[in-house]
Amino acid sequence: MFEIRFHGRGGQGAVTASKILALAAFKEGRYVISFPFFGTERRGAPVTAFTRIDDDPIRLKTQIYTPDAVVVLDSYVLGSADVTGGMSEKSYFIVNTDRKPEELGRNFRTATVDAKSIALERKLGDRTNPIINTAMIGAFARSTGIVSRESAIEAVRELSPRKKDENAEAAADAYESVRLGWLN
């Protein structure tokens, strides 16, 4: 079983990202479950969402405490201890930032992607609210290899309510441009 935790802020699409990832894995014949930690938060407040992927039916319905991967949609939430909670050195740490992976330390398998620039280039959202969740799916696919590039892009296209092509392209861009810290 592979467990992924998404951290973002309300309105950034962390919950949708967890669903897109589940769909991508489902398309490859795997069992999936995705769920938010649903708070009473409003737009802008920190948000957590979860995805589990397995070859067998998934019964475990707790939150994810020892993630195999953590996807950070907004580097502003990095300061919170919850973000890296339960991670091991084998865990993937995929962060939306223009910084290099090594700048975030070498505790995990860290990957960085400038999803904000990708989103703006593809005209997804605006400067204050770029839509970066679809790019993060591309970055996740490349970093972990848990889902293929094709499944990720297909799932992005399917679950994007608008600008399906642009979102799919954003995922592809991120797949190409994500920087994998452990390869350096």
Partner 1 sequence: MQSAQRKYNAILTGNDAVAVGAKLARVGFISAYPITPQTTIVEKLAEMVANREIQARYVEVESEHSALAATFASELAGIRSYTATSSHGLLYMHEMLHWTAGMRLPVVMSVVNRALGPPWNIWTEQTDTMNQKDTGWMQVYCESNQEALDTILMGYRIAESEKVMLPLMSMEDAFVLSHTSEPVSIPDQEEVDGFLPPLDLKFRIDTNNPMGYGSYSTPDGPFMELKKDMIESMKNSKNTIREVTRNFAEAFGRDYSGLIEEYAMDDADYALIASGTLASTGKYVVGKMREAGRKVGLIRLRFFRPFPDEEIVKATKNLKGVGVLDRSVSYGSSGSIANEVKSSLYEKSSIPVTGFVAGLGGRDVRIEEFEKMFDYIEKGKTGNYFIGDREGN
Q: Which residues contribute to the site for partner 1 (CB under 8 A)?
A: 18-19, 22-23, 26-27, 29-38, 40, 55-63, 65
CB of 157 to partner 1, least distance (A): 15
Looking at beta carbons only, is 66 or 107 nearer to partner 1? Answer: 66
Helix axes 149-159, 133-144, angle to 10 degrees: 160
CB of 54 to partner 1, least distance (A): 9
- Indicate the SS3 state at residue 115: helix
Looking at beta carbons only, is 62 or 128 nearer to partner 1? Answer: 62
The DSSP code for 29 is T
Looking at beta carbons only, is 7 or 30 nearer to partner 1? Answer: 30
| Cβ count within 10 A of residue 4 | 27
Looking at beta carbons only, is 157 or 180 nearer to partner 1? Answer: 157
Q: List the one residue out of 119, 110, 77 whose CA is nearest residue 178.
A: 110
7 backbone dihedrals φ, ψ, rounded to 5°: -120, 130
CB of 70 to partner 1, least distance (A): 18
List Cα–Cα distances, 105 to 42, 46, 181, in angstroms.
Answer: 31, 23, 9
Q: List, in sequence order, every residue forming a beta bridge with 48; answer none if it has no partner.
A: 7, 37
Looking at beta carbons only, is 9 or 27 nearer to partner 1? Answer: 27
| Cβ count within 10 A of residue 182 | 13
CB of 64 to partner 1, least distance (A): 10
- Indicate the SS3 state at residue 124: coil
CB of 100 to partner 1, least distance (A): 34
